[in-house]
Structure 1
Amino acid sequence: MDLRAIPDSMAPAEVRKIDAELGRIEHGHGVSIGLAIESGSRAWGFPSPDSDYDCRFIYIAGLHTYLSPWRTRDVIETPLVGLLDVNGWDLAKTMRLLVKGNAVLIEWLMSPIVYRGDARFRDELRTLADEVADRHRVARHYLHLGARQWTLFGSGGSLKKVFYSLRPAMALRWLHEHPGAAIAPMHLPTLLEQCELPADLVAAVRELTELNSRTREMGRGTAPAPIAEFIMAEFDRATDAFPKMPDRDLVRAKALTADFFRKQVTRN
């Protein structure tokens, strides 16, 4: 079954360009795209009027490529054209990154915006991610990402950049409230809905999101107090809850991903 989930807010002309580019990639590189999604601020739930279209995809090459002794590139990158940014990873690279706990890949699987894809492929890959994903590594990814952005923001900066710390902080809060899960939603409004949060924080986030949605330049300033306090508190808690740990045993994770890889390649 084919996947397709494009919100009405996205410009039809830009979506058509992405569709055409994905078709050219499949034909020109001789690959099959298992999943192509939106990965930027549009999928995160806080786009501005001039937000780029960040299409990311996972592709499967032909069996002859994987059976060759000569390695080929495991990414497909296209030039930036206007607002379009279209790039993808080979399935083998995807498996390696999944085992390493790459949270970016996991977010691709959770994107609410899907350009194309095979439902069985995504569902099976999500199931695999649930089995393989390392909750601790995912949480530390959000902690490092968010803390770095918060340091760059400092005592004041572009208000739009508050979101780059807020979303990781909200993902950490979601993980705290869902102790049995390793994969948090990537969509900020969904994170808000699925966490118990103070009313003033929710109101401040929604107000900032609304401002961002209707202006290209939000200006500079300090983050609203409820948001700043939340971000710092979540990073402090995560620092204690998710300390640096020794590398885990990857035997089982490697076996599961190898089985999945062989199944998809031979099926393709």
Structure 2
Amino acid sequence: MPDPSAVAVFADLHEEGRELDALVGELTVPDWARPTPAPGWSLAHQIAHLHWTDRAALLALTDATAFAGLVEEAVKAPDTFVDAGAEEGAALAPAELLARWRAGRAALDEAIAEASPGAKFPWYGPPMKAASMASARLMETWAHGQDVADALGVRRVPTDRLRHVARIGVRARDYAYAVRRLAAPAEQFRIELTAPGPTGSAEVWAYGPEDATQRVTGPALDFCLLVTQRAHRADLALTADGPDAGRWLDIAQAFAGPAGPGRAPGTSR
């Protein structure tokens, strides 16, 4: 029997894709060329990138040999393979790109649901179980969905699906240091994030030891925007207690790969 928590992740991934689909599904052809906050990327590039990565995840779950071929391509062109994949999809007619993205999402949803719960599948980083794969896809769908929303001038309503993004951001703390060739602090941090909900909601998502001296507090939405580099720290209501916690907020990232430049102050939301 599938783990109920994993089934919930799968459902959340499906819903995150559906919500983004509602933003782009009725766009006119010229709208797809709108620039987004990612330099050189239009709305079409954003959806093309998600489709490209969904396809990679599908192959990781269903065809390890084919996925190994994708890894070889990435090794040959580590600085350009992501942009190249987005460029290829963005060159399609918008209707064709939208249809392919929708079909790819449906196929990935099915493959994730049918995957053996205990099996680990290859990825560009460490192998992952299906539930972790779903969480990672949700995080990226949400992050690129923010780029789309910003380009369209839409303010999205945050949901409790952000708990998956927040959890990845917390767990990736040491990776943020490693990718910059910095030593991570030995002490674990305490992170307390106010969950999305009605004004006055007392729900807090907490991570790390309660007695930690290095602490981060603030809205979960702001933390998720920070770790996906969709907003500059100066524009967010996050508080760091302790120098190590403060340094982490300057470099935090939830995604694999090189550290990006992020957004400039005053350009977010």
TM-score of the pair, normalised by structure 2:
0.28
TM-score of the pair, normalised by structure 1:
0.29
Q: Which has the larger radius of gyration?
A: 1
- The structure in which a higher percent of residues are strand is 1
Bigger relative contact order, structure 1 or 2, given CA contacts below 8 A and separation 6+?
A: 1
